Amino acid sequence: MSSEYRDFLELSYAELEELNLAAKEQRKKRVPAEVLQEERLNYLKNEPRIKAVTVVFSDLEGRLHMLDYDKKFLVKSYDNLTFDGSSIRGFTAQRESDLRLALDWAAFYWTPADVFGAGKVLVFGEVIDKNGGFYSGDIRGVLKNFSNEVFEANGWVLNAANEIEGFLFEGIDAERSFHEIGSFEYVNKGGYYHSLPGDPLREFIDTVSEVQRAMGFENEKDHPEVAPSQFEINYTYGDVVAAADQIQLYKLICRQVATQMGMTASFLPKPVTGVNGSGMHTNVSITKNGKNLFWDPKGEEKISRMGWQFVDRILTHGNDICLLLNASVNAYRRLDPHFEAPNQIKASATDRGSMVRIPIGNEKSSRVEVRSVGPDANPYMVLYSVFKTGLHGETAKIKNLRQADRYLPDNIYTALEDFKAATWTTTMLGADVKARYADLKQASADRCPRLLGTIVKSSEVQFHHDVYNQLLWNIF
């Protein structure tokens, strides 16, 4: 359709970056919600070139859902945005389907028109149950409440940064076509750190980086990864909820840019056997009044006693939370020791096969890195389980806990058994949400071969939660 009669908001990337960084600073400073609400609503009312607001939220497995609301409608009805929860896997049953979306005005983004469409802005939603409280299946809300409780009780700020790897494959919707073709086709075979300036992988990485920069990600570095057609685009630390939001946006941006280029960005942990899989190394720290509480120049590996206690609790519950960090059948292909996989329930400064690594750091960068995380896991679930466990979990009385001969599960069935049997996961999630999550994972597992074997099976892609659509799930 012709666009000559339209007057939609289309900002330059420099203008977008300035607006998004200002909003990010407000979030860091914890500007009161009511102040932000008034400011954002006034902006929407006074900017006639905005036609729609994209509201996003995540389900129990971490799939991102998007709804576009007409701006004039949203301005009048922002406190009564209802949707059918029974249509979202893992949410409400049909008989109790009505849920509402509250808007988290702090998580407000100006988006590039060439990627998201002209005349739109984006905001994250919070799921509200029929009684007006936060919905227990909305793990973003659970994480936000936990983060706020920790801050109000101790003044602690939970920080995270994630290194998210993915693959770029030829063709649109390559994952949804896998059950027909049986393979993925690389767009580049250059390998680690090597990609010529004009090849498709480099152009993809450059474009995604530009979009991230415009949306206030504050990029650090980007490069092709070890495997062919594999990429990683790094950005700075953030408050835990903002960090999880950025993971969702990162994957959304990658998928959209790839589609526009006629390709597919995949975050399956191990889409191709024989090469390195994709991880989501999760770096975490805790600060108070700007001071890094994990740093101690005289501590072991320059990590404080608090930091090591945090690590010990994660190691104690490593098997309990494995299903939350490795959420798919395919994820257990990645936990293979032959490809630098972090399958040992250990902590080390050097051994990249350890579940937890202590990177070299200083007072500013000192952190704990949880390496056994798949990029397809629900980011809110990952960060909630890591921080909740690290702060409030138990410490096992295992001799030499940090170097004990213990391993993560090598298949989803064992991970399911550990998850179901653990008292700790019930404490973290509540019995109802725990059961719903286990049911979803059991359904995917039961549609796939119990033994992984040496080749990727179509069923582990077809019935993967990231690839999910009703048509594919009905082909069984």
Q: What is the pLDDT of residue 407?
A: 95
Give dist(CA 409, CA 334) in Å, integer.
11
332-388: per-residue pLDDT in tens?
A: 999 876 666 899 999 998 887 899 999 988 888 899 999 999 999 999 999 999 999
Q: Which of 250-254, 315-319, 446-450 has the lowest mean pLDDT?
A: 446-450
Query: Please, how many CA atoms are within 13 Å of residue 225, restricted to the half-sphere of its CB?
Result: 21
Query: Please, how many CA atoms are within 13 Å of residue 95, restricted to the half-sphere of its CB?
Result: 0
The residue that leads in pLDDT, 87 or 239, is 239
13-135 shares its CATH topology with 156-473:
no
The mean pLDDT value for 233-262 works out to 96
Alpha helices in 233-345 (DSSP H): 240-260, 305-316, 322-325, 331-334
124-157: per-residue pLDDT in tens?
A: 999 998 788 889 999 999 999 999 999 999 999 9
Q: Which of 181-185, 254-258, 264-268, 382-386 has the lowest mean pLDDT?
A: 181-185
The answer to whether the beta carbons of residues 277 and 334 sit under 8 Å apart is yes
214-225: per-residue pLDDT in tens?
A: 999 998 887 677
3.30.590.10, 3.30.1360.70, 3.40.50.300, 3.30.70.380: CATH of 156-473: 3.30.590.10
Does the global pTM surpass 0.85? yes
Alpha helices in 227-374 (DSSP H): 240-260, 305-316, 322-325, 331-334
Q: What percent of the chain has pLDDT over 70?
A: 95
The mean pLDDT value for 71-86 works out to 90
* DSSP category for residue 134: B
pLDDT at residue 96 tops 90 = no
Q: What are the sequence ranges of the domains in the chain?
A: 13-135, 156-473
Closest by Cα among 332, 418, 419 to 374 = 332
The answer to whether the beta carbons of residues 438 and 415 sit under 8 Å apart is no
The answer to whether the beta carbons of residues 82 and 48 sit under 8 Å apart is no
pLDDT band at 4 (very low <50, low <70, confident <90, very high): low
396-441: per-residue pLDDT in tens?
A: 999 899 999 999 999 999 999 999 999 999 999 999 999 999 999 9
The residue that leads in pLDDT, 26 or 131, is 26
Q: What is the pLDDT of residue 301?
A: 94
pLDDT at residue 2 tops 60 = no
Q: What is the pLDDT of residue 439?
A: 96
318-332: per-residue pLDDT in tens?
A: 999 999 999 999 999
Q: What is the pLDDT of residue 88?
A: 85
- The chain-wide mean pLDDT, for the chain, equals 92
Q: What is the pLDDT of residue 196?
A: 66
3.50.50.60, 3.40.1410.10, 3.40.190.10, 3.10.20.70: CATH of 13-135: 3.10.20.70
Give dist(CA 150, CA 314) in Å, integer.
18
